[in-house]
Amino acid sequence: MKRVLLMVLIGMILLFSSTQQVFAQEDEISVFVDSLPVIFEVAPIIEQGRTLVPFAAIAEALNVTVNWDGSTQTIKSAGQGTTVQLQIGNNIATINGLSVTLEVPPQINKGRTLIPLGFFSEAFQCEVEWVAATRDVKIISPPSNLYVTGFYALGDSSTSSWTNLFARPYPETSPGNTDVISELAFGWYSMDADGNLLLNSGTGWQRPSGWETVLEAAQQYNLSTEMVVHLTDGKGAVTSIMASDNAMETAVNSILEETRLYDGVNLNFEGLGLSDRGEALVAVQERFSTFVQLLYAGLKTNDKTLTLTIHPLNSAYKGYDYEALGKATDKIIIMAYDYGPKPEPVNQVMQAVEMALEHVPSEKLLLGISAPYESAESLVAKFGIAKRYNLKGVALWRLGLVPSDMWDTMRVHTKP
């Protein structure tokens, strides 16, 4: 009899424990800004049908400033041309000095200031959605002044960069998607091992007939232009140039001669440092940095810009000294893709950005996005990363591979 009672008691304990876990899971509220999770030190709560969340974490996710006055228990925040003020226990808040009545006032919970999420987000022009089935709050932050570089390369009739950009068959034009793009990076150039500029490299990066028409169209729609010099080190071509002072000089001079047609240069030398270690790796980094410094100095003399499109610091290619390169360039495009899974894993992309930010100011960094690896849905998180870390913008590989729903997503997150 005792054994039966014991088994019943154990069963009741297990059932109670299981029920508590279900309730705990059901009580959890997750908050996402631009598809990126917001991590809170104190869990969000619901009062009178309103979600309250820790103030500091949500303000940081939305890139708005935070100010806490402990003497009056007043919260002030500013951003997106808006100033919001709330006070603990007070149902009256202000937006740009105008009073607004809150259904639930801010409160302090476990030492953290909690504010009504819906009011705060909407005050800063965010779109807020509550998904009851999953207890998720999904927030889309307002569009930002993101600089968008579009790589323009050759494609067949169904992947034409021209048609994808101008929404007309070549050579006709219309505004098309030019409202999203800030700059065109023309993938038309490569180099040989001696530093000579090539127009027919065998890599797919060739300058087409009628290329002048593309430059004219770019000017018509106020798009900046870059000549992309693309070279991979698979057969040691980049290493050969870097190993020779003469080859570097030839490369710099040939680029400077050609760049008269463009606003700047986009240097896309890939594959450095894959198998190098120790002093050999340092030498590779130093030689590439020297080359970039020489090219940058020449371009500045001619009032031209320099962009580097390079592997991220969490890739297998370690031949890039981000700190040195950041001082000798106007922009760096982080090629945060080719990690394996598709769409690109958000955690690795964020890590690539965070590592770059340790060495280069955010206003010089663009997040590289490979359009074939993403969808309209996954693109939200990638733009969210650029917005959350205050990057200069994003770069799309490539025009011609961007479907209409991805253009729509970009319009939600960028200002024309």
The answer to whether residue 24 scores a pLDDT higher than 70 is no
Say if CB 63 and CB 387 are below 8 A apart.
yes
The per-residue pLDDT for range 109-143, each reduced to its tens digit, is 999 999 999 999 999 999 999 999 999 999 999 99
pTM for the complete prediction? Answer: 0.91
Instruction: Tell me the residue range of the domain where 205 lies.
Output: 147-413
Q: How far apart (Å, rounded) are the C-alpha atoms in residues 356 and 297?
A: 23
Q: In what order do the strands lie in the sheet with 112-116?
A: 45-47, 50-54, 112-116, 107-109
The per-residue pLDDT for range 83-103, each reduced to its tens digit, is 999 999 999 999 999 999 999
Q: What is the mean pLDDT of residues 217-231?
A: 97
**What letter does residue 263 receive in the DSSP assignment?**
S
Q: What is the mean pLDDT of residues 217-240?
A: 95
Neighbour count for residue 78 (Cβ, 10 Å)? 16
Last residue of a domain, one of 85, 111, 140: 140
Q: Are residues 131 and 152 in the same domain?
A: no
Q: Are residues 254 and 121 in the same domain?
A: no
Grouping H, G, I as helix, E, B as strand and the rest as coil, residue 255 is: helix
20 lies in some domain = no
Total tally of structural domains belonging to the chain: 2
pLDDT of residue 25: 40
341 lies in some domain = yes
pLDDT of residue 386: 98
Q: Are residues 151 and 136 in the same domain?
A: no
11 lies in some domain = no
Q: Which residues contact 244 (CB under 8 A, 6 or more apart)?
A: 194, 195
Q: Are residues 255 and 200 in the same domain?
A: yes
Q: Are residues 102 and 128 in the same domain?
A: yes
Q: Are residues 254 and 349 in the same domain?
A: yes
Q: Are residues 252 and 332 in the same domain?
A: yes
Q: Domain holding 365: CATH number?
A: 3.20.20.80
Neighbour count for residue 338 (Cβ, 10 Å)? 13
Using 50, 70 and 90 to split pLDDT, how confident is the model at 200?
Answer: confident
Q: Could you give the angle at the alpha carbon of 188 between the alpha carbons of 259 and 210, nearest 5°?
A: 90
Q: Are residues 229 and 363 in the same domain?
A: yes
Q: Are residues 257 and 357 in the same domain?
A: yes
Q: Are residues 48 and 136 in the same domain?
A: yes
5 lies in some domain = no
Q: In what order do the strands lie in the sheet with 65-69?
A: 65-69, 74-79, 82-87, 92-95, 98-101
